[in-house]
Amino acid sequence: MFGDDYIVYDWQESDEEIHIYLKSKTKTGKCPDCGQESIDLHATYSRTIQVIPINMKTTYVHVLAYKYDCCNDDCDTKVFMEELSFAGPSQVRSLELNMLILAVSIFLSNEGSSKVLGLIGIKVSNDTIKRIYDSIDIKDEPEIDAVGIDDVAIRKGQSYATAIYDLKDHHLIALLDGRDAATLKEWLKNHNKIRLVARDRASAYAAAINEILPDCIQVADRFHLLQNLIERMRDIFNAELPKEILIKDGEIMGSAPKKVKKLKVALDSKQLDKYEYDNEAPVDENGSAVSYDNKKRNLDSEEYRQFAESRKKNNK
């Protein structure tokens, strides 16, 4: 989790939290401004960083790292802090934990994500999740020559954006407002070195690319190629296969069997004998036959006569 540059010298565990204490093993640092290596130790500093939970418990790492003096006299930075491999400067959560928070919040609201993450031991508020989103820096690359373009839903059915990513490693390089040709045209004007575009089937994107970069090769991305294949196969199956396929004893039947509306059995048939069917009238405890009427209502009652008259009027 932390790499070979740190050693664990202590740890504590309670019912709800785990605290791990690390110490840096590095003896040199690189100035973030001038890039010069330094071995001049200035001081030590401590940082507390929340990491991915262990055993569903909130887990914190306490890091004892170093500050170095910059050896470059021309550099404006005199003292710099050691960079941690698992957390950015001033971050209170590890990079992996932030990625997990973002992954969950894609499918839930910020408040819902906060509650779900809390169940597995991650302490983060809905406001913090929003700040993590707002801190994402999308770096544009004017020299790029192959991109992918697709529309994404900011709020499904209401607002959309155009996502542009590097085809080589698929990292996001631009997120444009809307999904029309106008915004894409403006972006393409500053990226005239693009020679290959993988896009969806939207005609607006195709028109924008043809207008600004007429020599650019346009191809369909894998998702939409597969979608085209599935739709074509569905059309073939609907045209060639019947709506119903009847199978009996492992063989396909040419037609549906005729439905028998009633089972006709002669009264003197012996087929019922094997079922031990008793067709005698029911008797009471004294052996006398029991007569019964399955109609519980009184057909001569005033209420029933009114219903009968009402039905006659409705049928006229």
pLDDT digits (tens, 9 = 90+) for 122-144: 999 999 998 888 887 777 888 88
Per-residue pLDDT, averaged over 241-270, amounts to 71
Q: Are residues 46 and 114 in the same domain?
A: no
Q: Which amino acid is at 38?
A: S
Confirm whether 258 is domain-assigned: no
Angle ∠(40,44,46) on CA atoms, nearest 5: 150
Report yes or no: 129 and 101 within 8 Å, Cβ to Cβ.
Answer: yes
User: Residue 308 pLDDT more than 90?
Assistant: no
User: Residue 284 pLDDT more than 90?
Assistant: no
User: Residue 11 pLDDT more than 90?
Assistant: yes
Confirm whether 50 is domain-assigned: yes
Pairwise pLDDT comparison (162 vs 60), residue with the higher score: 60
Report yes or no: 121 and 60 within 8 Å, Cβ to Cβ.
Answer: no
Q: Are residues 24 and 66 in the same domain?
A: yes
| pLDDT reported for residue 168 | 85
Per-residue pLDDT, averaged over 117-121, amounts to 93
Closest listed residue to residue 46, CA positions, set 27, 66, 32: 66
Q: Are residues 122 and 66 in the same domain?
A: no
Q: Are residues 97 and 84 in the same domain?
A: no
Q: What is the pTM of this model?
A: 0.52
| pLDDT reported for residue 272 | 63
Q: Are residues 42 and 118 in the same domain?
A: no
Of the three residues 37, 70, 92, the one that is the final residue of a domain is 92
Confirm whether 79 is domain-assigned: yes
Confirm whether 115 is domain-assigned: yes
| Total residues belonging to the chain | 316
How far, in Å, are 134, 178, 212, 220 from residue 153 at the CA level? 17, 9, 25, 20
Q: For residue 129, what are the domain limits?
A: 93-136
Confirm whether 101 is domain-assigned: yes
Q: Are residues 31 and 103 in the same domain?
A: no
User: Residue 58 pLDDT more than 90?
Assistant: yes
Confirm whether 147 is domain-assigned: no
Q: Are residues 1 and 88 in the same domain?
A: yes
Q: pLDDT-derived band of residue 167, with 50, 70 and 90 as boundaries?
A: confident
| pLDDT reported for residue 316 | 65
Q: Is 145 exposed, middle or buried (0-12, 13-18, 19+ CB in 10 A)?
A: middle
User: Residue 86 pLDDT more than 80?
Assistant: yes
Confirm whether 47 is domain-assigned: yes
Strand duo 196-199 + 172-177: pairing: unpaired
Phi then psi for residue 169, to 5 deg, are: -125, 5
Tally of domains in the chain: 2
Closest listed residue to residue 23, CA positions, set 82, 91, 79, 93: 82
| pLDDT reported for residue 290 | 78
Q: Are residues 25 and 87 in the same domain?
A: yes
Q: Are residues 11 and 80 in the same domain?
A: yes
Q: Are residues 45 and 132 in the same domain?
A: no
Of the three residues 110, 136, 162, the one that is the final residue of a domain is 136
Of the three residues 35, 58, 92, the one that is the final residue of a domain is 92
Least confident of 1-15, 161-175, 250-264: 250-264
User: Residue 271 pLDDT more than 70?
Assistant: no
Q: Are residues 77 and 102 in the same domain?
A: no
Confirm whether 253 is domain-assigned: no
Helices (H) and strands (E) in the chain, counts: 7, 14
With pLDDT > 70 as the criterion, what percentage of the chain qualifies? 90
